[in-house]
Amino acid sequence: MENTDRSRKHPADIPLCPENTDRSRKHPTDIPLCPGNTGKLRKRCTAIIVAAGQGKRMGGNVQKQYLELMGKPIIYHTLEAFQNSPLIDSIILVTGPQQMAWCRDELVHKYNLSKVDTITTGGAERYTSVWNGLQVIEEDMTKADREGIVFIHDGVRPFADDKIIARALEAAETYGACTAAMPVKETIKLADENGFVVSTPARNLVWGIQTPQAFDFQLIYRAYQAAMESGRTDMTDDAMIVENFTDVKVKLVEGSYENIKITTPEDLEIAEAFLRRR
């Protein structure tokens, strides 16, 4: 199936994986029951995996998402987590324009990642990459997808598991917006522009934010639409966009201390230790 004649303004997407030509997405009434929600059909769940970053903190010439972790690219491990989750129906991979064909051939086809419906190009910033992914759902996918739940996840966060995904789904269906998070272990200080401490927030109120972040699709799409029209460039995560452009409160759900984002060489060593334990 070719993704041709697109009306979207961002560059044309890579064609769909051949294995996805007869997906259950075409039959939105045939949806498994949500765990713990007996008798109620869950909503369609689409994951947007954001992997268009440059990874400057990692150093070297290879973007961090393509560095090998136990013999396979980091992004593979991230995609595998959502591929294997029974709660995820479709995956949109957002990557750099020069990596789209490689991702199709060396990830989706090579490892039979059959839930990856679309590979689309990212933007200059993370939020523009997410916006491109949201537009795929709005313009190219089914009504059931547009009425469903969207998970937004960092491509270099390979340890999201089924428990985190299930907690996020339940919270997104209940509250409309949620993010995986964990209580911080260290004391946090707020500083001024000169590096002097201004205040110390109560540690029991401070959480380290992770992904996935999960939302009712229409809520996050409208919030992003307003954010893009506003011209703001200080938006560092998707929950922040909901906080600033809607009246909906974002629910925190338990993530995991192992659900790390690999951004430095030290993170890569830690990730290898986590993976060896599995």
Has residue 160 been placed in a domain?
Answer: yes
Judge whether 118 and 14 are in contact, CB under 8 Å. yes
Query: Within a 13 Å sphere around the CA of 30, how many CA atoms are in the beta-carbon half?
Result: 5
Q: Where are any strands of DSSP class E within the chain?
A: 45-51, 68-69, 72-73, 90-95, 116-121, 149-154, 177-183, 190-191, 197-199, 207-216, 251-254
Q: What is the pLDDT of residue 56?
A: 52
User: Whole-model pTM?
Assistant: 0.86
Which CATH number characterizes residue 244's domain?
A: 3.90.550.10
Q: What is the mean pLDDT of residues 182-205?
A: 97
Has residue 58 been placed in a domain?
Answer: yes
Positive or negative CA dihedral for 155, 156, 158, 160? negative
Percent of the chain, pLDDT > 90?
79
C-alpha separations of 266 from 56, 57, 183, 242, 260 in Å: 14, 11, 22, 32, 11
Has residue 189 been placed in a domain?
Answer: yes
Give the model confidence (pLDDT) of 24-70 as tens digits: 333 332 333 344 444 457 899 999 999 987 655 545 566 889 999 99
Q: Where are any strands of DSSP class E within 27-114?
A: 45-51, 68-69, 72-73, 90-95
pLDDT for residue 5 is more than 70: no
Give the model confidence (pLDDT) of 170-187 as tens digits: 999 999 999 999 999 999
pLDDT for residue 3 is more than 50: no
The tally of domains found in the chain comes to 1
Q: What is the pLDDT of residue 28?
A: 31
Has residue 157 been placed in a domain?
Answer: yes
Q: What does pLDDT average to over the chain? A: 87
Positive or negative CA dihedral for 238, 240, 242, 245? negative
pLDDT for residue 86 is more than 90: yes
Has residue 220 been placed in a domain?
Answer: yes
Has residue 27 been placed in a domain?
Answer: no
- Alpha-carbon distance of 97 to 9, in angstroms, equals 14
- Alpha-carbon distance of 67 to 58, in angstroms, equals 10
Q: What is the mean pLDDT of residues 122-145?
A: 95
Has residue 61 been placed in a domain?
Answer: yes
> Could you list the residue range(s) of the whole structural domain that residue 206 is in?
39-277
132 confidence band (pLDDT: 50, 70, 90): very high
- C-alpha of 68 from chain center: 20
Has residue 24 been placed in a domain?
Answer: no
Angle ∠(171,274,256) on CA atoms, nearest 5: 20
